[in-house]
Amino acid sequence: MFAFGEKVLLIDAKKRRYLFTLKPDGEFHTHSGFLAHSVIVSEQEGAVVRSTKGAEYILLRPTLEDFVIQMPRGAQVIYPKDLAPICMMADIYQGAKVFESGLGSGALSMTMLRQGAVITGYEIREDFANRAQINVREFLGTEALSNYQVHVKDVYAGITETGFDRMVLDLPEPWQVVPHAETVLRKGAILVSYSPSITQAVKTRESMRSGWLDLRTLEVLHRTWHIEGASVRPDHRMVAHTGFLTSARYVGA
The chain-wide mean pLDDT, for the chain, equals 95
Q: Where in the chain is the domain with CATH 3.10.330.20?
A: 7-62
Q: Is the pLDDT of residue 87 over 90?
A: yes
Burial (CB count within 10 angstroms: exposed 0-12, middle 13-18, buried 19+), residue 144: middle
Q: Is the pLDDT of residue 74 over 90?
A: no
Q: Are 190 and 251 spatial neighbours (Cβ–Cβ below 8 Å)?
A: no
Tell me, which fold does domain 7-62 have in CATH?
Vcp-like ATPase; Chain A, domain 2 (3.10.330)
Overall average pLDDT of the 5-26 stretch: 94
Portion of the chain with pLDDT greater than 70, in percent: 100
Overall average pLDDT of the 83-96 stretch: 97
Q: What is the pLDDT of residue 72?
A: 83
The class of domain 66-250 in CATH terms is alpha beta
Q: Are 23 and 37 spatial neighbours (Cβ–Cβ below 8 Å)?
A: yes
Q: Where in the chain is the domain with CATH 3.40.50.150?
A: 66-250
- pLDDT tens-digit readout, 99-116: 999 999 999 999 999 999
Q: What is the pLDDT of residue 228?
A: 93
Q: How confident is the model at residue 218 (pLDDT cuts 50, 70, 90)?
A: very high
- pLDDT tens-digit readout, 21-43: 999 999 999 999 999 999 999 89
- pLDDT tens-digit readout, 115-157: 999 999 999 999 999 999 999 999 999 999 999 999 999 999 9
DSSP H helical ranges for 2-145? 37-40, 64-70, 80-89, 107-114, 126-140
- pLDDT tens-digit readout, 155-167: 999 999 999 999 9
| CA quadruple 107, 108, 111, 117: dihedral, nearest 10 | -140
Q: How confident is the model at residue 221 (pLDDT cuts 50, 70, 90)?
A: very high
Q: What is the pLDDT of residue 77?
A: 82
